[in-house]
Structure 1
Amino acid sequence: MEYIALDLETTGLDNKKDKIIEIALVLFDSQTYAIKESFTSFVNPLLLIPELNENITGITNDDVKDAPVFSELREKIESFIGERPIVGHNVFFDINFLKENNISLKNNRVIDTFFLSNILLFTENSLNLESLCSYFGVPFEGSHRALNDTIASITLFQKLIQLFHSLDEEKKEMLYFIFSQSFDSHILHIRDFLFGGEKKAKEREFFIKNILDNLDKKIKPQEKEIKLSSLESQKYSDIIEKIPTLSFRENQQKLMEIIFENMEKSKKTVIEAPTGSGKTISYLFPAIFHSLKSGEKVFISTKTKALQDQIFYKDIQEIEKYFSYNFSYVKIKGKKNYFSVYSFLNFFFDGLMEYEKVSFSSKIVLWLYQTEYGELDELNFYGDEFGFVKNVNADYIRVLSEENPYKKYEFYYKIKENLKEANIVILNHSLLFSDIVIDGELSKTMENLIIDEAHSIEDVATETLKKRFSLQGFLSVSHFVYTQHIKNNLNAEAFTKQVEILERDFSLFQDVCISFIAKKYNIRGDYIYFLLQDPYFFQEDFLGIVSGIIKKIENLILLLKEKKELDIASEIGYLEDIKQVFLVCFSPDSKKEFIPTMSYNEKYGVSVEYTYLNIGEFLQNRIWERTKNVFLLSATLKIGENFDYIISSLYLHNGFDFYSFKSDFDYQKQATLLIPDDLGSIKNNFSQISDFLMTLIEKLSGNMLILFTSLSAIKNFYFKANLPLKTKGIHLLAQSIFGSKYKILNLFQKKSDTSVIVGTDSFWEGVDLPGDDLQYLVIHKFPFLVPSDPIFEARSRLYRDSFSEYSLPKAIIKLKQGFGRLIRTKTDTGVIILLDDRIFSTKWGKEFFKSFPTDINVKQLKTKEILEFFEK
């Protein structure tokens, strides 16, 4: 059978206003994949191609100025396609553009290679055409050119069909069942193509039984001997001597001794241990030993998923091999992170099986054969799937209730059961703080706590403890509650009436706020974010609106609490949260304890939120004073030679011991710091700096990370540099343009020799690229917080000298984190280039200079000399 492969290049993503600038059509045999005929042409869009699209596609205004307009190609395109099925990557994007340009495609069936990839490659970080071709080893001439992309999509299609046929029969039957629930003609065409025609689907019972049989094998119960009295008289050295295969570095040995001793004596401890010091192993041994000896749990909290997974899947399992005593450990995340079979089956059999629901359900089912712990963040989601995730997670009371017939199969239930017996509990900072603020289940047994990546405590707690109201959030929750009424055959009239009244009040609230914002900031459309402190928001008339909203929220909560049949505890909790938002944010006294803020943009309207003003005070009251053993560890806690900043910001004044360790790295041999002295002021010389960076990148080709401090700087540099560098085979992987952090890192590691990451905030930490992948680190500016940021503005008032006591220390810690991306092991080498002239031109610049290792090679050079340095 003949199929058509299709790809377009366009001036943008909106088929209503953007235009086609290139089209490629390829006729091929769907059995042999042999190409029979092709057609390609530039298209004159009769408007200028935006700079961003020139950068992405490489198609310039000169390329299209003499090309035919689309109407001149319409007859040829319709004749070439005919009624043949269409294949392409994200092909509905192209089809919608063709339809908008009056190409009739009513009877054409469609197979999207993205749809198939999303099902079959469910854990891949990136599903763009280039990444998938790389995955399968498919030659790829260059992305975002129509003919190249079209030919690549045909070969990708072939590889995906082969991958499907490699699945075992049970998985195929499960997919056939899912596809057969749909009435979508494209889905049924894909099903018949994959399976060679229509056949009888298995019964519903087969589908459910296979899922349950699969889940029954996951997460076996753990047993724990509550207390090992034989360890009462033993010391840590007795344990270590029994593990001769593990060798400990000098720093690691000292670190371990401190943690062992302080844990035995119940001392609260802060430790700065640099990268490469082996701190994870150093605290795991004492933690396990203490738990076995005392019968108490030890909680270990990390900021990043990467470190949490490293501890759980690697470090603790390595120790387990050699440890002569049995111990148990569990990794736990918030319940929203876990798949629930109860939620999934309700979602699956409820409502129509639409296109996106088919791909989502299919990849979930295939993933269940692979996953061990049911953590939904193992999967990548796209488009409507983000909305589906809420419907399949464990964030429902009935998941753990006796009303759930599948309770014993639930991942979250099994983890909670193992948690009861665990010696070591591995969690993340977000769960730690969200549990502590409600005096949750975890905090009740939290006598021993180790906080790794402790430099991030203030920022993570600030985000985790936020409560927020937005009209979109309220409407989303209201819609969900309404659907629950309908599913349970309950009368929703009273609920709907109260929601409509609240909506009117919220709309009035928004209008009044927008009126203020327009006058105060003389701005419409742009994002604005500010402290709620203007007297306008505390006038009697305005507070009357707020008071009415609070009363109506209370009434709605009372109504929903009467609906015992509905599993809506989370939704009621959300309503209680937004009630609290209005109470806190519009109370004149709230700023003594909280930071109330308002934000506005044209798309989402007005949002109101608050967080804690003094995170240190919160930590002192909720953790430091309630916990017997606390250890805070990070590679970046000190400023200069002291812990003053971290002591002040986290309230570590009473009862804490402080230790710091020198790095095991030989920076004199491993790293060089280059500082150009002829680029002028960092504040107003972006053009010259960009020119230097382009020249530098051309010389080095790749293996580079450039850290900026704003997305606007990234975009300005990208638009200037991407096309010239692209013609030289160098890939600029820019944050906010190329996708998520993980997608960018994945692409970089595949082609690090010819790739440069251009990132901001999230790339300053949590990037681990040891070896040759990362050899060059460029820091554009010192990473100061934006002075107009309302959280920064509010917290600055807590200090007598906010710059030297708050702003400068936070920037130094972030700079140390950024520098830490370069040298990850004793064999790594690299060069850091710092472009901020303020290191020498300001009094405080020396504080940044002192944050670099004392034995690093430092060269202050002209830009020409820096380029010559790399030639040598």
Structure 2
Amino acid sequence: MIHKELIEILKLLSPSGSVVSLDVETTGLRPEEDMIIEVGATKLNIEDQSYESYSQLINPGIRIGEFITELTGITNNDVEQANVPTIDEIKDEFTDFYSNEKGEQHLIIAHNANFDIDFLRKNGFKFTGTIIDTYDLAFVLLDKGEYNLQALSSLFNINVDKFHRAKNDAEATLNLFIELLKVQVNLGSINSKFSDIHLKENSGIKFAPKFISNYISESNSIEKGKRLDKEKVIINKKINKKIKFPDKCSDFFSNDGIGRYIENYEKRLNQIEMSEFIEKKLPKPKINLIEASPGTGKTLGYLAPIVIDILKNNSKAVIATNTIALQDQIINKDWALIRSYLEDSGELGDINISILKGRKNYLCKEIIKHYEPNDFREARVLFKLLKWDEFTLSGDISEVDLKNDHYVFSKFSSSNESCIKKCNKCYIDIARKNAKESDILLINHSLAMSTSVTDRSLLKDINYLIIDEAHEIQNVATDAFTKKVRINTFLSLNKSIKNYLDSIKNNPNYDTKYLINFINKSEKFIEKLEILNIFLKENIDNQKNYGKYIFDDNSLNSTIEMIDVYEFAKEIMAENLFERVYVNYEEIEETLFQNIINSISMLENEISKLISIFSLEDNNMVAWFEMFNQENFELISSPINVKNELRETIFKDQNNVILTGATLTSFDSPDEFCNQIGLVYLDEYRIFDSEFDYENNVLFYIPKDMPEPNNDLYIQNLSDLIVNISEKDLGKILVLFTSYSSLNSVRKRLKESTLNKKIISQGVDGRAARVISKFKKEGSILLGTGPIWQGVDFGFDVDIKVLIISKLPFAVPNDPLINARSLKYIDPFNEYLVPDAVRRFKQGIGRLIRSNRDFGAIVCGDSRIITKTYGESFLNCLPGYSFNEDLIIDSGNYIKDWIDNHE
């Protein structure tokens, strides 16, 4: 039964007396080309809470592809039966289903409604009433998670026999709508904020949170700050001492020490040695490097000596990491253990730890109060932030998931001009205050590399700096000092400013001439960018150079289109149009003018970046265009080396630095790594090898009949290798690729094979976090690349038995940045590309063994590891594995026998 309060709201939402959820299955994603193959719907008659269903297969008149059949279970034979109607033949009966006896449309619900409605409209169906999308509701009301129908049904315990069948999906969507409606009703007074926002809506699909808020009273409220702020762990209390917190690391890592708080605790000698090494180095101003193999427990290995030193000497430490995942691990796992230890010893109140990020990561409280969204995407993000703002204590955007709309957050972040100049009590200010009071401060690499005076102060007056995930700092520095501009960004900002102008141009109280002049210039500039876009598309297509077009002084000076954009951009900046607009409108307090200033500031910044990229004054920069589609290009310039940038930021005035990571050396030497990051002098480096029994727990298998990756038969042979191994039911298999193109080619062949295994593919099935989650629950084989290769933690509940390295992970040599860096070496391949690939290779093979309990096989699908002289460099980095070379056809049996004998 549906709650009485919800029934009353449903009556207001749908005066026709019923709510209908619908879904269609189709031959593809494009309404102009693809056809409907099934229609399903569920109707809730509100007054008596009765349900009706509609379900019908449709003859599309075209063939159904294999992928759709696999997804839905609907075959060509199913829809070609004589009794299966065409879409035209069900038009009247289905229209009657979603309308009342007067012909009035009921409230229609759909998940990703644009997809279903566009297909139905294309086929002649009329919709005259309200349609709302449960995706919009879920996106706004739920902070994190996946917003697809399957994940949401699982979250709300909605049972579905089989997804991707129209009737089932429609029924699930209606149940989901009721659950989400409960969530929105319970927001209480937040709904009044939703209803106050003005939206430019079309006559069809309504923005669900706004539409529903108009019919909800403020009878419910939620206390602000009710939930735990995960990003700040500051405890200010003293308790009676029960045990003594150790004053040296050897006692900390004992059964009577941290062993009290870890179930089945086992001492790790390499962890203890690492912590003692740091313990000796902390008091001395030196720069040290530590490579700690997987399984060392390095975060606890450096936290222990830090905490001991803080308690002894009241020191202060900054820990810089690359990933949010590692910061979460430090706070929620390693610090949680130490926190319990400190609490039991009465020392907890003496140590504060917090996380600080850059301005762009924090919400501006003032901007969201008055912002008027320009489209549905902005509305979705704004409503989500308004709801979240009622609960968050940190304002850190990592607390919520914006999916593909994350770029919209820039309009609401503390990096906006109005927040920087006018706010002093925003979330960023609270976070910085906490940072100054902290004994241990966690920041990310990019913040440590900031050039702003405020951010630089974070690294002043500290006793030591720990740089974890140090193997990434060259890449982070490259990204931090890379400049990028996209034509779509100019279009979006210009559109926003024009919308603001439309709102005020008829108001006699405002002089809009400066704004009009600015927009005229901006539109002319965009016209020139679009002409350049046409030129670039033609030239890049002709080059066939991975969609990239490198340019230098010669190409810039010889290309009229580039010169035109460059000169006009300089003209706009020279006329100081931005300052004129700002000076004339900065004193006006209305939100509209604050939005204008923010948008103009962002546009100024984009034009300034474009000028900097085109200027080509810095010999250390390489510049290129990159095409994404026919309408959009990106202009990029990146530093060839980042030595000076790192010396002037993260290493500046730092005398006590420890760099640590799992893959910092090549051939047991840190020289290449130090050269890349500009470390001229290193006091000492240590390698702490893993204690895992690799010889007995890891088989390294090389199929000696594999063709090289550039051979036409390579993809087919690699697919055969995966099939041969997978058929033996060995457990979960992870396959790492160096590109999406090869991943997708192999996926296609695996799908065409007789292999009866659940295949999860990064990209097709979602981003890294999502595919890993699916792999844990249901997958037999995971095809991954990028972040999955470089260190995503699968957790101890994922037992990977076979890791297949499809190809040695060499960087693409004709990538503009890689090519420019290669030119700095006498022998680029052996001095730069091979060491870089070896480090990546070490990261990849580290995915298999993460604890003493793990065992399995690593298979290298790249025969160059045994046929080329440089292959020895890769083999030499293997830590004593069992080794075998054999044929592809024998791989499955050999690996199965090895695993069976191990067990």
**With structure 2 as the length reference, what TM-score do the two structures score?**
0.83
Q: Does 1:373 align with 2:394?
A: yes
- Number of the residue aligned with 2:810: 784
Q: Secondary structure at the match of 1:775?
A: strand
Query: Structure 1 residue 337 and structure 2 residue 361: aligned?
Result: yes
Amino acid paired to 1:310: Q
- Which secondary structure does the structure 2 equivalent of 1:106 belong to? coil
After superposition, the Cα gap between the structure-2 partners of 1:345 and 1:545, relative to the gap in structure 1 and judged at 3 Å, is: closer
Contact residue 677 and residue 837 of structure 1 kept, 8 A: yes
From 446, 453, 476, give the equivalent of 2:469.
453
Equivalent residues of 2:703, 2:885 under 8 A apart: yes
Q: Distance in 2 between matches of 1:26 and 1:671?
A: 53
Residue matched to 1:852: 878
How do residues 114-263 of structure 1 correspond to structure 2 at under 5 angstroms?
A: 114-124=135-145, 126-157=146-177, 159-160=179-180, 167=186, 171-175=187-191, 178-179=194-195, 198=215, 201=218, 236=248, 240=252, 244-247=256-259, 249-263=268-282
Q: Which amino acid in structure 2 is aligned with residue 865 of structure 1?
A: D
Structure 1 SS opposite 2:170? helix
Aligned letter for 1:654? Answer: Y
- Where 2:773 maps in the other structure, the secondary structure is helix
Matched, 1:321 2:347: no
Among 57, 65, 69, the alignment partner of 2:86 is 69
Summarize deviations over 1:263-300 as a string: whole Å, max 9, x none. Answer: 21111011101122121122223334445666553211
- Counterpart residue identity of residue 782, structure 1: L
Report how far residue 51 of structure 1 moved. Answer: 5.7
Residues in 2 aligned to 1:344 and 1:212: alpha-carbon distance in whole angstroms: 16
| Cα distance in 1 between the residues matched to 2:336 and 2:459 | 25
**Alignment of 1:737 onto 2:764:** yes
Contact 2:58 2:85 in 1 (8 A): yes
Does the C-alpha gap of structure 1 residues 683 and 342 become closer, same or farther in structure 2, counting only changes over 3 Å?
Answer: same
- Shifted more, 171-180 versus 97-106: the winner is 171-180
Deviation at 1:455, TM superposition (A): 0.9
More moved, 428-437 vs 829-838? 428-437
Shift of 1:157: 4.3
Paired residue type of 2:395 = G
512-521 vs 178-187, which moves further: 178-187
Whether the aligned pair in 2 keeps the contact of 1:43 and 1:70 (CA below 8 Å) is yes
SS at match of 2:351: coil
Structure 1 pair 464–831 and aligned structure 2 pair: CA distance change class (3 A)? same
For residue 663 of structure 1, what is the aligned residue in structure 2?
A: 690
Question: Is residue 648 of structure 1 aligned with residue 658 of structure 2?
Answer: no
**Residue 624 of structure 1: SS of its match in structure 2?**
coil
The residue that corresponds to 1:229 in the other structure is: none
Q: Cα gap change, 1:523/1:624 in structure 2, threshold over 3 Å: closer, same or farther?
A: closer
Instruction: Tell me what 2:27 maps to.
Output: 11
Query: 5 Å matches for 1:472-551?
Result: 472-480=488-496, 491-508=511-528, 511-512=531-532, 514-515=534-535, 518-519=538-539, 521-522=541-542, 528-533=547-552, 535-539=554-558, 543=563, 546-551=566-571
Q: 1:819-855, CA deviations, whole angstroms, 9 ceiling, x for partnerless residues?
A: 112222222223222211111111111111122222x
User: How far did residue 58 of structure 1 move?
Assistant: 4.6
Q: 1:553 to 1:68 in 2, by over 3 A?
A: farther
Residues 219-268 of structure 1 deviation map (CA, whole Å, 9 limit, x = unaligned): 9996999xxxxxxxx97459849994314532122211221222211110
**SS of the residue aligned with 2:258?**
coil
* Counterpart for residue 706 of structure 2: 679
Distance (Å, rounded) in 2 between the aligned partners of 1:778 and 1:815: 12
Task: Trace 1:711-790 onto structure 2 (pairs within 5 A).
Answer: 711-722=740-751, 728=756, 730-751=757-778, 754-773=779-798, 774-790=800-816
Question: How far did residue 363 of structure 1 move?
Answer: 4.1
- Over 3 Å counting, the alpha-carbon distance change for 1:120 and 1:670 in structure 2 is farther
Name the counterpart of 1:832.
858
* 1:442 counterpart SS class: helix
Question: Which stretches in structure 2 are left out of the alignment for 5+ residues?
Answer: 1-16, 100-104, 238-245, 260-266, 588-592
Amino acid aligned to 1:100: K
- Among 796, 799, 821, the alignment partner of 2:825 is 799
Go from structure 1 to structure 2 and tell me whether the alpha carbon gap of 1:866 and 1:507 turns closer, same or farther (over 3 Å shift). Answer: same
Deviations 1:704-748 (A, max 9, x none): 22111111112222233336679x4x4322122122222222222
Q: Distance in 1 between matches of 2:167 and 2:45?
A: 17
Partner of 2:635, secondary structure, is: strand
Specify the alignment match of 1:228 in structure 2. none
2:225/2:391 contact within 8 Å kept: no
Q: CA RMSD in A?
A: 3.8
SS of 1:22's equivalent?
strand
Residues 200, 186 of structure 1: CA spacing in aligned structure 2 closer, same or farther, 3 A cutoff? farther
1:371-427 superposed Cα distances (whole Å, 9 cap, x missing partner): 4422222222256x54652343322354466x55xx54x322211111122221101
Q: CA deviation at 1:190?
A: 7.0
User: Counterpart of 1:562?
Assistant: 583
Residue type of the alignment partner of 2:538: A
- Over 3 Å counting, the alpha-carbon distance change for 1:360 and 1:543 in structure 2 is closer
Shift of 1:469: 2.4
In the other structure, the counterpart of 1:266 is 285
Cα distance change, pair 430–211 in 1 and its aligned pair in 2 (3 A): farther
Instruction: Give 1:693's aligned residue.
Output: 722
Match for residue 103 of structure 1 among 102, 107, 125: 125
User: What residue number does 1:595 align with?
Assistant: 622
User: Aligned residue for 2:306?
Assistant: 287
**Alpha carbons of 1:295 and 1:32: their partners in 2 closer, same or farther (altered >3 Å)?**
farther
Name the counterpart of 1:585.
Answer: 614
Once residues 546 and 48 of structure 2 are traced to their aligned partners in structure 1, the CA distance between those partners, rounded to angstroms, is 53
Distance in 2 between the 1:31 and 1:723 partners?
Answer: 51
How far the C-alpha of 1:810 sits from its partner, in A, is 1.3
Paired residues of 2:528 and 2:564 also in contact (CA < 8 A):
no
Supply the distance in 2 between the matched residues of 1:296 and 1:672 (Cα, whole angstroms).
Answer: 46
What does the per-residue CA deviation read over 1:656-682, in whole Å, with 9 as the maximum and x for residues that have no partner? 311101102222333222222233333
What secondary structure sits across from 1:475 in the alignment? helix
The 2-side partners of 1:694 and 1:241 are apart by: 45
Report the counterpart of residue 264 of structure 2 in structure 1.
none
Matched-pair contact (CA < 8 Å) for 1:12–1:53: yes
Paired AA for residue 355 in structure 2? K
SS in 1 for 2:636: strand
Partners in 2 of 1:715 and 1:767 — Cα distance?
21
Distance in structure 2 (CA, Å) of the matches to 1:358 and 1:370 = 19
1:420 aligns with 2:436: yes
Gaps of 5+ in 1: 226-233
Decide whether the 8 Å contact of 1:3 with 1:84 is kept in 2.
yes
Q: CA deviation at 1:498?
A: 3.4
C-alpha distance in 1 between matches for 2:385 and 2:396: 11
Contact 1:138–1:156 (CA under 8 A) maintained in structure 2: yes
C-alpha spacing 1:328/1:50, structure 2 compared with 1 (3 Å)? same
> After alignment, is 7-16 or 26-35 more displaced?
26-35
SS in 2 for 1:93: helix
Deviation at 1:198, TM superposition (A): 4.6
Q: Which residue of 2 aligns with 1:810?
A: 836
Q: CA deviation at 1:574?
A: 5.9
Distance (whole Å) between structure 1 residues aligned to residue 225 and residue 323 of structure 2: 32
Tell me the alpha carbon deviations over residues 145-202 of structure 1, each in whole angstroms, 9 at most, x when there is no partner. Answer: 323323433444455456667x4xxx3343366357678799999789989x956557
Counterparts of 2:225 and 2:579, CA distance in 1: 41
Moved more, 511-520 or 235-244: 235-244
The share of aligned pairs that are identical, in percent, is: 26
CA contact (8 A) 2:724 2:891 kept: no
Which amino acid in the other structure matches residue 825 of structure 2?
Answer: Y
Say which of 874, 882, 888 aligns to 1:863: 888
CA contact (8 A) 1:57 1:145 kept: yes
- Does the residue aligned with 2:282 lie in a helix, a strand or coil? helix
